Structure 1
Amino acid sequence: MASATVTAKSEPDRRRSRGSWLPGTRLGRLIIALNLLGLVILIGGALVLNELRRGLVGARIDSLTTQGELIATIIDRAATIGEPEPSMDGQYAAEILQMLSNPRSQRARLFDAEGRLIADSDWVADRVEWKTLPPARQRVDPGTFSLDLQGRGPTAPKASGEAGLAREVAKALKGDHQAGMRVGDHGARVVSVSIPIQHVQAVLGVLTLEASDVDEIIARERAALIPFALIAVSVTLISSLLLNRLIAQPVRRLARAADSVRLSRARAISLPDLAKRDDELGDLTRSLEDMTHALSERMDAIESFAADVAHEIRNPLTSIRSALETLDLVTDPAARERLTRILHQDIQRLDRLITDISNASRLDAELSRESPRPLDVGRLLSDVAGLYQETAKPGDIDVRFVPADTLEPIRVSGREGPVGQVFRNLIDNARSFSRPGGEVRVGLQASRGQAVVTIDDDGPGIPEENLETVFQRFYTSRPKGAAFGGNSGLGLSIARQITEAHGGIIRAENRTGPDGEVAGARFVVSLPQARS
């Protein structure tokens, strides 16, 4: 059974040549890029705002440190009393702190050398807050509020902010400048600096400055992050819609087209707009179209083959029926003998037809079942020719193998059974046309990466107009006097089908003698050599 040869339309070399900084295929790169774009925008915005927040907090610490060092220096110069053991005049230091007004968002507190609170900017009576005030705090007399510098927390009502302040003041009383973020009295985060007030080496107290607008800064940062988040969400949404349009919908169309082929018994899928796409879906569409077209051609070939089989089988059956109907009416022994010979010939022809039809119908399955492997063509031809020589009967045409004039074996990639069937079919055809006493010669040569096998006979040759038609199914034109029913007309067709399935070609030509007359027919089979 002949099968259609389909030329693949894929372009692997061109696709490999497409350079890109992203790995994968075209649609794969598109999916990666679109999904990463929104994430990159969001991460980029977060990093930018994070750097902005760090800069703002650092600037606020620097500002508070500069201001605190100035106030601490003034208090040291103006409120230090006692020699040789200096101390700080708490009341005067508190007045100095009250005179040095602070911004509304800042709070200043002054502690003595024992960690007792002696001044707080929130105690200033004439200060007007421009924002909503926190719950009112009662004024604490300097003598009643102190910090537990051993880490047990404040003696006033306990709060996490006071505990953090106590640790900060305790470290500052050791002479170390403290700066950073911590929790304030009301649970809000504050930027705080604690600067020791030193006279020479003696620590007279600690000045603590706090900026309570950190939460406002963070809130503004979060608000600034919203546009980035919205952009990221928008990009993700757009990319999802784009991927749905570029991938999901075309795949759905392909599925519906495949269902249409299955349900309406159509022969092929046709989606020209998708086939024009230069990506994986375009490759898939073209492959599906090629596959369905190949299946359609295969179905046409099966229908044509079935029609040819029915026609070829009908002829011997009609002849057998006519002979049987006539046999009962004929009384002449010679006529009955002729009818009997006709019956034997028709039965032989029918048997030959059924055998070759069975071989042809199994050919596709055999070709797909076995994987190609390297074959030594010289050894295979030697075995085939040796089998004919061993089974030859008196009067049979001799088969002689002429090996290649090279020491290296000539190998092809193929299936040993089908390739051997090609040579057997050609040899059988050559023997059937050879004259009595003739010879069939099988030659092998390597030429330009091809293994070239020739099968020569000593028959009458092939008419020029039939050099191609001899490979058609059931073509059985034979010279006068040839045995009737000895051929089915499928041998050469099967040989071409197998050869083309292995990437080779087969052709027929005539040999001429020195006088220019036709000396016989020659069949040439070219198969690609296997790569070493």
Structure 2
Amino acid sequence: MLRPLLRKLPFGQSRLGRLIFGLNLLGLVILVIGALVLSDLRRGLIKTQMDSLTSQAQLMGEVIAEVATSEGDAEPHLEADNAAFVLGRFIPAGQRARLFDAQGRLISDSYKVSDTIDVYKLPDARKPDEAQPKDKTAKREARRLAADNQLHTEVMMALSGSPPVASVRTNERGIKVVSVSIPLRRVKEVLGVLTIERGDVDKIVADQRWAMLPFILIAFGVNMLSSLLLAWLVSRPIHRLSAAADNVRMARTRAISLPDLESRNDEIGVLARSLESMTDTLWRRMEEIDRFAADVSHEIKNPLTSIRSALETLPLVKTDEARERLMAVINQDVRRADRLITDISNASRLDAELSRDTPKKVEIGTLLEDIISLYQQSHVMGETAVILTRTLPPAASTVNGREGPLGQVFRNLIDNARSFSPESGQVRVTIAPGVDPALPISIVFEDDGPGIPEDNLETVFQRFYTSRPKGTSFGKNSGLGLSISRQIIEAHHGRIWAENRKDDNGQIVGARFTILLPNLH
């Protein structure tokens, strides 16, 4: 029952948070337990002192009531001499007993009638001609008056006939004492009050403070241990991760690799694994960018080299027919370079667009219908027709994705299929349930072209792959369309692959591109 409650707290889901909270709380719990235990101990000691003094005062009060009272013809009264004798003989050392008459006047004090000497520290000595400071004298007088008032209040309460009055008060020297006052009775008459006090309360408090020392030392040790554990378990690993990240930043190492941290099951382990995965992804991305730059440089050089050769040959051409052929080559290479630059620009912006564009609900069937309707509206006699077939309802063909990039994939595949299809051929697009439960949306693009060589079914998704069979148009494709399409589909957690369509005799009758996507959960 406590664990679910803790998990709702800010640190409840954090293993390190629970560790830090628990270690810091442990020292506080030890101090609280120590304070409670010693507070109970102090109250128990004082209560024991009060009970002991109460029993002693009651016993002594009975003795005084018997031997130190006289009735005679008058009312009963206390005999001071007999009472003083009892006080001087039966009060133990360390205690003080005083006897008051029925009017609250002091008639006997054990300090004056006992052989016991009260020892206490005298004030600092002063020179004979040095006067006592007025402020000290005033403080001493105020303290004496306060002590007399407290004692008088206690005596008056006892004279009222109440049960024994027990309290902790301050005497005239500023020392805390445990005091008990009981009324002295003769029959039902209250003859006076016996007060017994014991002045070792300060010693009890001092003993209590010393008893707190072990708890303080334990709490201090626990806090020191928790600090060391936190430094070892949190601060040191984070420092190591920081140093490893600096090494990666300064290109000293390829990636962060700290196996002893990655094996941990807390947030430090998660952080180490995340940093290693991040740096590895960054390095692979950098290598991919380097390869992409090299491929771009190579592909752009081809049309530029062809244009330069044609321009160098152009002054040497003598006939108009040859000059027109060279100009046609130049125009074709310019269009090819323009297509390359456009596709390269799109490919370089793709990662940024995918990370910036927020995914939302996209109904694949509606998106394909809008795209294909544009091809159908611009279709003329003799061109390849695009036909859409859907067997999946809209609710089952909705994905959480980015409409722009997905539309780019569909246009790339349709344009690629049309470029390979013969005149008056067809490009068939089908939306149907997928065979993979995790990827239930299947989108198939089929054409009537020459197909794809079996060895190149995977190669066609590589950048700048433009191997085309004889009879197909050249220079209209940059070789980036299928590569971009795979990148977008994988960013949507889907799959895309190519295969050949075959007839009953096993002859290739066209190509087929299949896309599988997860639906919206």
User: What TM-score do the two structures reach when normalised by structure 1?
Assistant: 0.88
Q: How many corresponding residue pairs?
A: 494
Match of 2:431 among 432, 441, 444: 444
Amino acid at match of 1:411: T
Counterpart for residue 327 of structure 2: 340
Counterpart for residue 117 of structure 1: 106
State the Cα distance separating 1:418 from its structure 2 match. Answer: 0.6
1:212 aligns with 2:199: yes
Match of 1:278 among 265, 269, 273: 265
Is the Cα contact below 8 Å between 1:90 and 1:112 reproduced in 2? Answer: no
Is the Cα contact below 8 Å between 2:361 and 2:400 reproduced in 1? Answer: yes
Report 1:23-42 matches (<5 A). Answer: 23-42=12-31
| Residue range with higher mean Cα deviation, 388-397 or 204-213 | 388-397
Is the Cα contact below 8 Å between 1:378 and 1:409 reproduced in 2? Answer: no
Counterpart for residue 130 of structure 2: none
Match of 2:153 among 155, 167, 171: 167
Counterpart for residue 89 of structure 1: 79
Is the Cα contact below 8 Å between 1:275 and 1:283 reproduced in 2? Answer: yes
Report 1:193-204 matches (<5 A). Answer: 193-204=180-191
Give % identity: 54
Mapped to 1, the partners of 2:428 and 2:349 lie a distance apart of: 29
Q: Deviations over 1:261-280 (max 9, x none)?
A: 33347543233332232221
Report 1:296-445 matches (<5 A). Answer: 296-406=283-393, 408-445=395-432
Mapped to 1, the partners of 2:331 and 2:32 lie a distance apart of: 90
State the Cα distance separating 1:75 from its structure 2 match. Answer: 1.6
Counterpart for residue 459 of structure 1: 449
SS of match in other structure, 2:237: helix
Mapped to 2, the partners of 1:525 and 1:120 lie a distance apart of: 109
Unaligned runs of 5+ in 2: 124-140
Larger helix percent? 2
| Residue range with higher mean Cα deviation, 302-311 or 22-31 | 22-31
| Residue range with higher mean Cα deviation, 520-529 or 506-515 | 506-515
Amino acid at match of 1:457: D
Mapped to 1, the partners of 2:142 and 2:459 lie a distance apart of: 114
Mapped to 2, the partners of 1:408 and 1:261 lie a distance apart of: 47
| Residue range with higher mean Cα deviation, 194-203 or 64-73 | 194-203
State the Cα distance separating 1:385 from its structure 2 match. Answer: 0.7
State the Cα distance separating 1:330 from its structure 2 match. Answer: 1.1
Amino acid at match of 2:63: I
Mapped to 1, the partners of 2:110 and 2:378 lie a distance apart of: 122
SS of match in other structure, 2:166: strand
CA 1:430–1:371: 2 relative to 1, 3 Å: same
Mapped to 2, the partners of 1:159 and 1:232 lie a distance apart of: 43
CA 1:91–1:43: 2 relative to 1, 3 Å: same
Amino acid at match of 1:481: G
CA 1:192–1:43: 2 relative to 1, 3 Å: same
| Residue range with higher mean Cα deviation, 87-96 or 453-462 | 87-96
Counterpart for residue 67 of structure 1: 56
Q: Deviations over 1:204-261 (max 9, x none)?
A: 1111111111111111111111121112112212221221222222222222222333
State the Cα distance separating 1:160 from its structure 2 match. Answer: 2.2
1:483 aligns with 2:470: no
Mapped to 2, the partners of 1:86 and 1:135 lie a distance apart of: 42
Report 1:173-322 matches (<5 A). Answer: 173-176=159-162, 177-264=164-251, 266-322=253-309
Is the Cα contact below 8 Å between 1:453 and 1:525 reproduced in 2? Answer: yes
Is the Cα contact below 8 Å between 1:378 and 1:404 reproduced in 2? Answer: no
Is the Cα contact below 8 Å between 2:461 and 2:482 reproduced in 1? Answer: yes
Mapped to 2, the partners of 1:408 and 1:125 lie a distance apart of: 106
SS of match in other structure, 1:484: coil
Mapped to 2, the partners of 1:336 and 1:191 lie a distance apart of: 126
Counterpart for residue 54 of structure 1: 43
Mapped to 2, the partners of 1:407 and 1:242 lie a distance apart of: 57
Counterpart for residue 468 of structure 1: 458
Is the Cα contact below 8 Å between 1:397 and 1:436 reproduced in 2? Answer: yes
Is the Cα contact below 8 Å between 2:392 and 2:433 reproduced in 1? Answer: no
1:44 aligns with 2:44: no
CA 1:401–1:200: 2 relative to 1, 3 Å: farther
State the Cα distance separating 1:125 from its structure 2 match. Answer: 4.2
Counterpart for residue 501 of structure 2: 511
Match of 1:525 among 506, 512, 515: 515
Mapped to 1, the partners of 2:445 and 2:451 lie a distance apart of: 12
Mapped to 2, the partners of 1:191 and 1:55 lie a distance apart of: 13
Is the Cα contact below 8 Å between 2:299 and 2:464 reproduced in 1? Answer: yes
Mapped to 1, the partners of 2:252 and 2:379 lie a distance apart of: 52
Is the Cα contact below 8 Å between 2:177 and 2:198 reproduced in 1? Answer: yes
Higher relative contact order (CA 8 A, sep 6+): 1
User: What TM-score do the two structures reach when normalised by structure 2?
Assistant: 0.90
SS of match in other structure, 1:107: strand
Q: Deviations over 1:430-449 (max 9, x none)?
A: 11111111111111123325
